[in-house]
Amino acid sequence: MIAPNDTASASATPSASGSSNNGNAPHVKNFTPLVRQFLDYLKLEKHFSDYTVKSYGADLIQFAQFIAGEIGHANTAPVGATLTPEQIDERQLKCEPLTIREFLAYLYAQNYTKSTTARKLATLRSFFKFLIRRGAVSVNPLSTIRTPKQEKRLPKCLDLEQVQKLLDAPEDNDLLGARDKAMLEILYSSGIRVSELVELEMSDLDLQEGILRVRGKGRKDRLTPIGSQAIKAVQRYFELRSADARNPGTATQRVFLNKHGEPLSTRSVRRKLDKYLVEAGLDPGISPHTLRHSFATHLLNNGADLRSVQELLGHQSLSPTPIYTHLTTSRVKQVYDDAHPRANTGTIPHPASANAESAGQPPHKPYYPAKAG
């Protein structure tokens, strides 16, 4: 049995009060001891990002509410009866597949999408695998539960003209404009995630070689090249930043700072992108991740191999990368048209027919074998 971990730091686990509660369900004030240990494990040992840990915590809060009878089951918890965190843990340790199926039925009744349901199931799978490794349970109640089949949706992608409009939108005449232009140029030039962008430090940039050191998921570093336009934009940003009176100097090593000289957040990057989408007249549904999709798609369209794109994106395996191959149909079609002998011509003359016509004889009719049966 796992001993309760009451000393988990607030910085290592997200706050329950900030989690989504789905309407009328009461908030769970604290994580249970087991959940707290699990989130500490994700943060301290697996090196998951704060955002990912917070998402796991929100999912487990909802599941705790469900098995406590506070949501679902027609709210079967007696009025005024509240389970302690330890009692909730006891129910989680005794959880059976039927409880998981009932939880899935509740999510379905609440009109959750298949992707959200799959994410919540993935959270529970990881949680119970953690409990098994620690010897708290012997059987995973999700071992017989299948994840709902996902809809196959292709990621959004900008064409080259749209990318150009977006990258031209910020003016680099002042510090903040130069910063925004540098951010967008790096996102498209390197394909890094927005979370990786905001964590870039000065020591991660080698502008002479055109290389970024990127801290990816699980704190796995990788080196990623950037192009000449991105280098030029970053140099312009650094030039204005060093001349600015608010320059924090060595107080922070982060590359991208807000107007107060503090590290920029992922939400701030999204707000800036939204601003320039409006100015460029582009789809407001475009996200920073769309630039990552566009980066990968344009590389593949121009002849990059899948393995190289996988390395540049920081994918640990090839499995997530092939989604981009669905967006390269136009290039495949062009290769087909250029290479296949029957792609653009009406017919290919039969050799015997060509010889017969040259001899002034009637064309030879090709032989087609009869179909069996």
The per-residue pLDDT string of the chain (373 residues; one tens digit each, 9 = 90 and over) reads: 444 443 333 334 444 333 344 433 334 347 999 999 999 999 998 888 788 899 999 999 999 999 998 888 645 545 456 889 999 999 999 999 999 999 999 999 999 988 899 999 999 999 999 999 999 999 999 988 888 777 666 667 889 999 999 999 999 999 999 999 999 999 999 999 998 999 999 999 999 999 999 987 766 788 899 999 999 999 999 999 988 866 666 567 899 999 888 899 999 999 999 999 999 999 988 889 899 989 988 888 888 888 888 888 887 655 555 566 555 555 666 666 777 676 665 544 555 544 555 556 555 544 444 444 4
**Which strands sit side by side in the sheet containing 205-206, from one edge to the other?**
205-206, 211-215, 221-225
Which of 236, 254, 272, 292 is an active site residue? 292
Sign (positive/negative) of CA torsion 177, 183, 189, 191? negative
Mark whether 105 and 188 lie in a shared domain: no
Tell whether the torsion through CA atoms of 317, 319, 320 and 322 is positive or negative: positive
The answer to whether residue 80 sits within a structural domain is yes
> What are phi and psi for residue 335, nearest 5 degrees?
-60, -40
Inside any domain, residue 346 = no
Give how far Cα 244 sits from Cα of 181, 230, 262, 268, Å.
17, 21, 14, 20
Residues 169 and 107 reside in one and the same domain: no
Q: Which domain holds residue 59?
A: 16-133
The number of domains in the chain is 2
197: phi > 0 → left, psi -120 to 50 → alpha, else beta; which?
Answer: alpha
Residues 174 and 244 both lie in one domain: yes
Is 117 a domain residue? Answer: yes
Say whether both 115 and 166 belong to one domain.
Answer: no
Tell whether 33 and 95 lie within a shared domain: yes
Same domain, 95 and 225: no
327-333: long-range contacts (C-beta < 8 A, 24 or more apart)? Answer: 327/154, 327/155, 327/157, 327/293, 327/297, 327/300, 327/301, 328/297, 328/300, 328/301, 330/301, 331/300, 331/301, 331/302
> Around 195, how many Cα atoms within 13 Å sit in the side-chain half-sphere?
11
Residues 254 and 306 in one domain: yes
Is 176 in the same domain as 276? yes
Question: Is residue 111 included in any domain, yes or no?
Answer: yes
* Among candidate residues 329, 351, 368, the one where a domain is terminated: 329
CATH number of the domain to which 261 belongs: 1.10.443.10
Does residue 298 fall inside a structural domain?
Answer: yes
- H helical segments located in the chain: 33-40, 50-67, 85-93, 97-109, 114-133, 160-168, 175-190, 194-198, 228-243, 266-280, 288-301, 306-313, 329-339, 351-358
Q: Are residues 25 and 91 in the same domain?
A: yes
Whether residue 2 is contained in a domain is answered as no
- Judge whether 165 counts as a catalytic residue: no
Residue 370 lies in a domain: no
Residue 116 belongs to some domain of the structure: yes
Among 193, 236, 254, 298, the one annotated catalytic: 193
Instruction: Specify whether 311 is located in the same domain as 219.
Output: yes
Predicted structure pTM score: 0.61
Instruction: Tell me which of 315, 331, 350, 364 is the catalytic residue.
Output: 315
Token representation of residue 316: 């640990």
Q: Let me know whether 190 and 129 are in one domain.
A: no
292 among known catalytic residues: yes
Query: How far apart are alpha carbons 226 and 308 in whole angstroms?
Result: 14
Give me the catalytic one of 114, 129, 289, 350. Answer: 289
196 shares its domain with 314: yes
> Among this protein's residues, is 315 annotated catalytic?
yes
Told to judge if 193 belongs to the known catalytic residues of this protein, a careful annotator would answer yes
User: 13 Cβ partners below 8 Å, 6+ apart?
Assistant: 31, 36, 39, 40, 43, 53, 57
